[in-house]
Amino acid sequence: MKALQEIGPTQAFCYFYRTLLYVIFRALPFPQFRSLFLRLCGVKLGKNCVVHNIRFMNLHRGGFKNLSMGDDCFLGGEVLLDLATQIRLGNQVTLAERTLIMTHMNVGYKDHPLQKEFRSRVGPVSIDNASFIGAGSIILEGIKIGPKSFIGAGSLVSGDVSGNSFWAGNPARIVRSLATTEQ
């Protein structure tokens, strides 16, 4: 009951409704069907996107409309997207398996003793064109990843990432710059 009191009846209804949509999404067997369904639910989805069996959290806060993807994006299996606020993926962005994108941080209920030390934060995540996020990487709230960025597997991205660069580690640090030749 405490959770219901904290979010209120409107948010509870949104939670129930969007959970039903999510159940339908999870039952769809092919990436093409998932992409079509996401479009119907309000995701801005470019052409030729491949969406494997991904997961969502915080759908009740903003819904599928908080996700936008450019053309030719690839989302691998078990990618987890926090839709507490916006996630924007540019063209040709790849999220490898088990990538986690967080758009909020909260330690718990409003009366949790750590709320004074660790205030709730919400911030959109933007990943620019031609970027790759390696398997098992975590992108924290409010992060902007520049174009043509490569994030190594298992990295924790806690700060903005410059474009044309390779980053890796926990926390992620620049490893080297990438060539900036045009195709």
Give the per-residue pLDDT at 182: 57
138's CB contacts (< 8 A; 6+ apart) are 99, 100, 102, 155, 156, 157
Supply the pTM of this predicted model: 0.91
Which tens digit of pLDDT belongs to each residue from 9-65? 888 888 889 999 999 999 999 999 999 999 999 999 999 999 999 999 998 888 999
Q: How far apart are CA 160 and CA 75, in angstroms?
A: 21
Q: Confidence class of residue 181 from pLDDT cuts 50, 70 and 90? A: low
Over pLDDT 90: what percentage of the chain? 76
